[in-house]
Amino acid sequence: MARSSVPPVTKLFLALLVSCSLITFVLRYSTYLHIVTSETHDQDHVHLIGEDQAASDNENSVPTPQELYVPLLALVPGQTSLIKMPWVLFTTSFIEDGVLSFALCFFLILYTGRYIEVLWGPREFFAYLTSNILISNVIAYSYYSFKLSVDDSLPISPITGSSALIISLLVAIKQRIPNHYLLFLNGFIRLRVSLVPFFVLSTGLIFSFITSNPYYHVINQLAWLGFIISWVYLRFFKEGGSGRQLSLLPITESGNPTILIKGDRTGQFALSTFFPRPLSFIVAFISDKIFQMFVTLKLLNHGDFTSNNEEDMQDEVSNSNTQTDLISQMSQSRLFTSSSLAGVSGNISTVSLPKTGFIKTVHDKLFALIGQSNDQSAQENRTLASRRKQALAQLDSKLSA
């Protein structure tokens, strides 16, 4: 399979996103136009039913397009029967209402999904995303169904949107390349990959607080559920760890099989690494207490986890060649470009967005105003080239030793 091609599972998820969103859009607005047309017809005959009654009926009977849903695709607490239509637990995560959210989800699934699927393989990639979607939707559906059973007057939004799917992809990306950066405008704006999930989660949390729209509460809840489920699976259950750990396994001449530890037990994937300082210290304190409790109950083995960065540094050096090759797969797209620097010197590596079209124009004008010349950009390129050579030299010395 060519690097530029889209793997089968990623292609399937993109097709589901396009088809479910398009079907929902067409049926929703066609139904809305039909309702509006019917109400207009009733207003033409208002003298037959009375003005007060017509005005009251018009306010109560005309929903907004966002209030309409497709029963065969959307999961609606209190309305959907999971016994009769169990597939909606899966299809509801591929319904995006807005054009911007649809475009963002499409490109994130395309580029991050293609990258992760090449690493894991189609079967494991499909199982990871599908289980995340189903578990998140089941929990959200149960929660809102319980709320409706207590008070049926509460406004409930359909459980739609791919926030759980997107956050699971971002957590997987963070696991693989935690020390990389997303660079915008040639590095003028820089965001560490390990903080991208936190940025998405905090954005959803802010929207859920500043608006009374129940849709944003659903999106925020799905995102947090997807984050927790993804981290727990990758931390404790995924076979083969992070993929980066395999090079650290000892090679012995005996025929005794090596026991692989499930999950990524390295310090780079600790829960606190998803949060910026000083919030990370609070998360680390709480998670350490919970971890010690599980160790006391003999549910976890303390020796399986690394608490320092020594193993993580060895991990990066010994796998710099493989990581460089895998990161370069993201460079095949026009949305993401990446350097091949593995972060050996200075612990800095990049995944950047290209400067093309409008972005390039804005970038040139912005840096012209602040007086940054092309010579400085050339100097930065030479610095990156020298650091690449240094990384390769250190790798060669390790291999020869």
Domain map (residue ranges) of the chain: 8-42+67-247
Largest pairwise CA distance in the chain: 95
Peptide bond into 278 cis (omega under 30): yes
CA distance 244 to 24: 41
- 357, 343 contact by CB (below 8 A): no
pLDDT of residue 59: 52
User: pLDDT 10s digit of each residue in the chain, 401 long?
Assistant: 445 588 999 999 999 999 999 999 998 888 878 787 876 655 544 444 444 444 544 555 667 767 777 888 999 988 888 899 999 999 999 999 889 999 999 999 998 998 899 989 999 999 999 999 999 999 999 999 998 888 877 777 889 999 999 999 999 999 888 878 776 666 667 778 888 999 999 999 999 899 888 888 999 999 999 999 999 999 988 876 555 554 444 444 444 555 566 778 888 888 988 998 889 899 989 988 998 898 888 887 777 776 545 444 444 444 444 444 445 544 444 444 444 333 333 444 444 444 455 555 655 655 555 454 445 555 555 666 676 667 667 666 666 66
**Angle formed by the axes of helices 310-318 and 374-400, nearest 10°:** 100
What is the per-residue pLDDT for 47? 44
Q: How many CB atoms lie within 10 A of CB 70?
A: 21
| Residue labelled with tokens 């590095």 | 187
Specify the pTM.
0.73
> How many CB atoms are closer than 10 A to CB 274?
22
Q: Spell out the long-range contacts of 2-6 with Cβ–Cβ below 8 A and sequence spacing 24 or more.
A: 3/329, 3/332, 4/332, 6/110, 6/114
Q: Would you state the structure tokens that stand for residue 213, as one six-digit string?
A: 């729209």
User: What whole-number distance in Å separates Cα of residue 230 and Cα of residue 156?
Assistant: 26
Predicted local confidence at residue 135, as pLDDT: 96
Chain center to CA of 224: 11
Measured N-to-C along each axis, helices 163-176 and 99-120 cross at an angle, to the nearest 10 degrees, of: 40
Q: Please tell me the distance from the alpha carbon of residue 130 to that of residue 124, in angstroms, as a whole number.
A: 10
Structure confidence at residue 53 (pLDDT): 47
Nearest to 349 by CA among 176, 218, 220, 215: 176
Give the span between the Cα atoms of 143 and 223, in whole angstroms.
15
> d(Cα 378, Cα 52) in Å, to the nearest integer?
73
Distances (CA, A) of 335 to 106, 125, 135, 307, 366: 12, 22, 31, 36, 21
With left for phi above 0 and alpha for psi between -120 and 50, is residue 343 left, alpha or beta? left
CA distance 39 to 121: 53
Q: What pLDDT shows up at residue 5? A: 84
CATH class belonging to 8-42+67-247: mainly alpha
CA-to-CA distance for 313 and 244, rounded, in angstroms? Answer: 11
Length of the chain: 401
CB of 226 closer than 8 Å to CB of 165: yes
What per-residue confidence (pLDDT) applies to 151?
82
| Angle of CA points 105, 71, 102, to nearest 5° | 15
CA distance 247 to 258: 13
